[in-house]
A = this chain, B = another copy of it.
């Protein structure tokens, strides 16, 4: 693994602020005490996290505090306004700093509010889910749903500081850990096979001893950092991180988001690899090697004659499509992903059904 595994902090270059800091925190209390001691800090905390870590958060009991409901249905502009109302009740001012503690939804809402309140206020972030720690905490994006349109609204607005504390991972469900692992595997596979193999080799142990995830989180962020420093606004090379996502999102859509994100994209990567295999981009050996890793994280899901048309319809709505062609990331082998446009024809349909016949988990 790279140097970052050892280092306790690094910075990410950004067009929005010059750079922002990612810091691995050994002692949560110390960090909270520093922030809690600043009069211009307002904490915005996921209400579940708040209850689970009541003891640890006691140290900021004299600070201004707003609790947030982190469910997807609240990732809206209306709920953002409710949080703004609560912030006004804490007498929020332009030079205040919002400190968010929570997962991806907390991040989305606080990043969005920080973008539009007083034309922008500073915010800092303690990600508490594995998905937020290994992925979403860097990259500047916020996403807000608008009516039936997922992620239609949003801004680019990174926190000024990110504090990653492994202790938050201890209360997560196995499914949440698996979701984060899926996301990490996707970053690792854009670089090569080794880190993904490391994850697979210690898979069960990682589910159990969450502090062991820390070096993988660090590597995952390092891979993402390299690309977002070049393409923060996602207009070119950052597209490679759609690997597994095009096919995964469509699975999430047709299963009404019952399959956790990172697990859906584990299937998505496997399917992308299968298509790559059938296009002669990789060998059977390469496919099998990656499949043996991915299958550890693949949940039960099968494409059949019953759902394949719905699946293709969901794929046809992908934003990356062009002129009726499906825009997706395929692979020339671990470490070599590339954007390819596919005809959405019967051939693709058959290929997907044949993938599911051979590789889906029951």
Contact = CB atoms under 8 A, between A and B. Distances in A.
A35 B75 CA distance: 35
Given A88-B149, A94-B319, A156 B119 contact: yes
Contacts of A117: 152-153
A146 B319 contact: no
B154 A141 contact: no
A170 B303 CA distance: 65
A146 B118 CA distance: 11
A-side binding surface: helix, strand, loop or mixed? mixed
A154 B116 contact: yes
Interface in A308-339: 319
Interface string A44-88: 000000000000000000000000000000000100010011001
A81 B155 CA distance: 16
A146 B113 CA distance: 13
Max chain B C-beta neighbours (<10 A), residue from A81, A85, A119, A152: A119
A77 to B, nearest CB: 6
Contacts of A115: 115-116, 155
Nearest to A141: B119
Interface residues of A, number: 26
Given A77-B77, A77-B81, A81-B146, A119 B155 contact: yes
Copies in the complex: 2
Interface string A90-128: 000010000000000000000010011111100000000
B120 A156 contact: yes
Contacts of A155: 115-116, 119-120, 155
A85 B119 CA distance: 23
Nearest to A88: B149
Scoring A117, A142, A144, A149 by chain B CB atoms within 10 A of each residue's CB, the highest score goes to A117
A153 B116 contact: yes
A19 to B, nearest CB: 15
A327 to B, nearest CB: 14
A313 B295 CA distance: 68
Contacts of A116: 112, 115-116, 144, 153-155
B118 A152 contact: yes
A142 B120 CA distance: 11
B84 A154 contact: no
A94 B321 CA distance: 13
Contacts of A94: 319
A154 B119 CA distance: 5
Nearest to A153: B116
A127 to B, nearest CB: 20
Contacts of A152: 84, 88, 117-118
Nearest to A118: B152
A240 B94 CA distance: 19
Given A81-B146, A120-B155, 16 more contacts: A77-B81, A84-B153, A85-B147, A115-B115, A115-B155, A116-B144, A116-B154, A117-B153, A118-B152, A118-B153, A118-B154, A119-B141, A119-B154, A119-B156, A119-B233, A120-B156
**5 tightest A-B CB contacts, nearest first:** A119-B154, A116-B153, A119-B156, A119-B155, A116-B155
28 contacts: A77-B81, A81-B146, A84-B146, A84-B152, A84-B153, A85-B147, A88-B149, A94-B319, A112-B116, A115-B115, A115-B116, A116-B116, A116-B144, A116-B153, A116-B154, A116-B155, A117-B152, A117-B153, A118-B152, A118-B153, A119-B142, A119-B154, A119-B155, A119-B156, A119-B233, A120-B155, A120-B156, A155-B155
